[in-house]
Amino acid sequence: MATTTRGRNQDRARVAAGQDHEVAYEAKKEDVSKAKVKETVKEAGNSRAKVEDKLKK
């Protein structure tokens, strides 16, 4: 697992809705707006699998 500059493990299984670069990445990947990704994280939680599944519907 990759570590951050602070020595913490990164959690790739979660979408950090407060991090613009993560929201932008997910929006580009799923071809939706950043607002849609943030809305979906609020609805489905921050699990990347749940967010991606919900965005595909």
Q: What is the pLDDT of residues 14-56, one digit of tens each?
A: 999 999 999 999 999 999 999 999 999 999 999 999 999 999 8
Predicted TM-score (pTM) of the model is 0.80
Residues 33, 43: contact at Cβ < 8 Å? no
Which residue ranges make up each domain of the chain?
A: 1-57
pLDDT exceeds 60 at position 1? no
Report angle CA 31, 35, 9 to the nearest 5 degrees: 80
| Cα R_g (the chain), whole angstroms | 12
| Residue that has been written with the tokens 């602070």 in this structure | 6
pLDDT exceeds 80 at position 10? no
Report angle CA 48, 50, 52 to the nearest 5 degrees: 65
pLDDT computed for residue 5 by the predictor: 72
pLDDT computed for residue 28 by the predictor: 96
